[in-house]
Amino acid sequence: MQTLTHTLLPQLSAQGHPRNPGMPLDLDWVASAQANTSAIERRAATLPGRRSVKKDHQAAWLCKAVSLIDLTTLSGDDTAGRVQRLCAKARQPVAPWMLERLGMTGLTTGAVCVYHDMVATAVRALEGTAIPVAAVSTGFPAGLSPLHLRLAEIGESVADGAAEIDIVISRRHVLTQNWQALYDETAAMRAACGEAHMKAILATGELGTLRNVARASLVCMMAGADFIKTSTGKEGVNATLPVTLTMVRAIRDYEDRTGFKVGYKPAGGIAKAKDALVYLSMMKDELGHDWLQPDLFRFGASSLLGDIERQLEHHLTGAYSAANRHAMG
């Protein structure tokens, strides 16, 4: 079998682009942001059928998707053992025999994402790797605890070794169009993150309209978000293609005006390898090759990895394995 080439599977290292420093809140720009819902939905409906990759090319794209996954456990019954097993999976996300036949080495997931209490456990389990630990902070998932407690939680997660912080915004500020309050809170959380990169979760399923999604995206980027993220995974509606188009076009507008790149993370509801391929092709079409790297794009998913493994095994053997052969931990 022909091995995967570097032209098909680019290097997984970070691009080294400058970090988004944020900017003063520009209310005129925010007010001018619109979203043509019907046009966005029509475009989104065409995406699953617009790109088709097969055989070795599809395997290369699926390996790329693995490198972009934030392998996540956010359950009330999380234990140290579960997190340690998840970290072992992040280190070795695909069976060695499959990687050998694919001509792949050094493949890991993009990050491991846990609650604050499990940050130190994950950091210890990932020692010796370049896999960052991301912590969900700021009263996740509702984000309704007092601001000083949310900021303190960020500080404790950073002190425990989290390299990335997934914060949740106050949805009420979006719903009441209080952009100054949203900006001030997000900027304060960005400052609390320090060197840790901040992903701002918009909880788009609770924002009402795509216009609200577009405006909230801009405000969070102005406040210094390194990533904007769709969902906590706990809402009734999580990542969708129309929301993604709205957010990535806000990212494109922000780069056009400021010169700074901001990452994107769809989360919740992305469980199939075919869905990952749609998102990857859309990111390349809308934002370009830089957004196919883990410093600018992540999947907030865990079950996705299991389906990708099954598809890779089918590619290599011609047979589908049982899902329980690809457990997360």
Q: Where are the domains of the chain?
A: 27-318
**Contact in structure between 107 and 99 (CB atoms under 8 Å):** yes
pTM over 0.85? The answer is yes
Sign for the CA dihedral angle at 228, 128, 160, 196 comes to: negative
Mean of per-residue pLDDT scores for the chain: 92
pLDDT above 90 covers a percentage of the chain that reads: 84
Distances (CA, A) of 280 to 191, 255, 272, 274: 31, 19, 13, 10
pLDDT classification of 16: cutoffs 50, 70, 90: confident
Which has the higher per-residue pLDDT, 15 or 317? 317
Going by C-alpha positions, the residue among 267, 195, 181, 256 that lies closest to residue 226 is 195
pLDDT of residue 230: 97
- Per the annotation, the verdict on 64 as an active-site residue is no
pLDDT classification of 12: cutoffs 50, 70, 90: very low
Choosing from 64, 199, 229, 261, which is the catalytic residue?
A: 229
pLDDT digits (tens, 9 = 90+) for 191-250: 999 999 999 999 999 999 999 999 999 999 999 999 999 999 888 899 999 999 999 999
**Can you tell me the mean pLDDT for 258-285?**
95
User: Cα angle vertex 305, ends 128, 142, to 5°?
Assistant: 90
- Residue 143: left if φ>0, alpha if ψ -120 to 50, beta else—which one? left
SS3 of 250, please? helix
The two tokens of residue 68 are 């972009």
Which DSSP letter does residue 267 get?
Answer: B
Q: What is the CATH number of domain 27-318?
A: 3.20.20.70
pLDDT digits (tens, 9 = 90+) for 76-131: 999 999 999 999 999 999 999 999 999 999 999 999 999 999 999 999 999 999 99
**Contact in structure between 115 and 156 (CB atoms under 8 Å):** no
Choosing from 70, 166, 275, 307, which is the catalytic residue?
A: 166
Residue 315 burial (CB count, 10 A): 18
Length of the chain: 329
pLDDT of residue 110: 97
- Per the annotation, the verdict on 199 as an active-site residue is no
- Judged against a pLDDT cut of 70, whether residue 50 lies above it is answered with no
Choosing from 265, 275, 295, 307, which is the catalytic residue?
A: 265
pLDDT digits (tens, 9 = 90+) for 53-90: 888 999 999 999 999 999 999 999 999 999 999 999 99
**Can you tell me the mean pLDDT for 132-151?**
94
Estimate to the nearest angstrom the gap between the alpha carbon of 210 and the chain centroid. 19
**Can you tell me the mean pLDDT for 48-57?**
80
- Per the annotation, the verdict on 166 as an active-site residue is yes
